[in-house]
Amino acid sequence: MDDSREQLRRIVAGLRTNLALRGRSGLGGVPLAPTRRRQSIAPEGPARGRVVVAGGGPAVSADDGPSPRVGGLVGLRLVREELGDCQRCKLSRGRKNLVYGVGNPDAHLVFVGEGPGADEDEQGEPFVGKAGQLLTKMIEAMGYGRADVYICNVVKCRPPGNRNPEPDEIAACEPFLKKQLGAIRPRMIVALGKFAAQCLLRDDTPIGRLRGNFRSYEGIALMPTFHPAYLLRDPSKKKEAWEDLKAVLAALKKMALEPPRAPV
């Protein structure tokens, strides 16, 4: 099948999935929202399309330009389908669950971590262990809830003994992270720790030097900051991490994107 037919097939499959999901969830018709809505700021802010689904949330975005883009829930579902019962790297051999991502598929703010730990592997959801509890507090201090943002990792399967992910494992998983981000098209990414920041930025500068400075990932603002697990080991660094998150809030405010609640 040539590329355009394959693309069309995927779009039709995506629309069918969306219709079925909307039927089941009682969300009604399919919004064919122009991608431009992401440039003009959604006045309803992060509440837009807020549905929590481990594999993504609902909404079809179609471009009003010549090449339609499948985003939101459907885009995330397609990426999840493509991942399938992934055996692309050796991490698959030790996993209990593939940990894909969680939150709002239309989030304007996405947090990217390193990889699942034991709790995440057990539950199939990112950032639910001790580091996850701290991340949840950080998100809530910003005025959001976990359901308002999207949370995922560079690698989707737990590295044994919580070791660092290896280059071949990152290389196997990274295309799927990129596709997740391509489906969501957030306005801001917070890269948690060295692996997320270095992977997305293709920059091996230490996280201590990367953090606190806005960068761009494919046209999306990206703030590197410390990983919550590191903050648990060295709580003196929490102040800097909070400065980074406040800078994120200020930048979002300039884009007319505000959290649903007042930040702490």
Applying CB under 6 A, the residues found at the interface with ligand URA are 113-117, 120, 126-127, 129, 131-132, 153, 229
- Are the CB atoms for 67 and 61 separated by under 8 Å? no
Least distance from ligand URA to the Cβ atom of residue 32, Å: 33
| C-beta closer to ligand URA: residue 7 or 136 | 136
Least gap, CB of 116 to ligand URA (angstroms): 5
Fill in the DSSP letter of residue 90.
G
Q: Which is nearer to ligand URA, 63 or 122 (CB)?
A: 122
Do 105 and 153 form a contact (C-beta atoms < 8 A)? Answer: no
CB of 151: closest distance to ligand URA in angstroms?
Answer: 7
The secondary structure of residue 59, as a DSSP letter, is -
36-40 long-range CB contacts below 8 Å, 24 or more apart?
36/64, 37/61, 38/185, 38/187
CA distances (Å), 17 to each of 22, 74, 86, 249, in order? 8, 7, 21, 34
| Cβ proximity to ligand URA, 35 vs 162, nearer residue | 162
- Residue of minimal CB distance from ligand URA? 113
Complex with ligand URA: residue 35 or 133, whichever CB lies closer: 133
Query: C-beta of 209: minimal distance to ligand URA in Å?
Result: 20
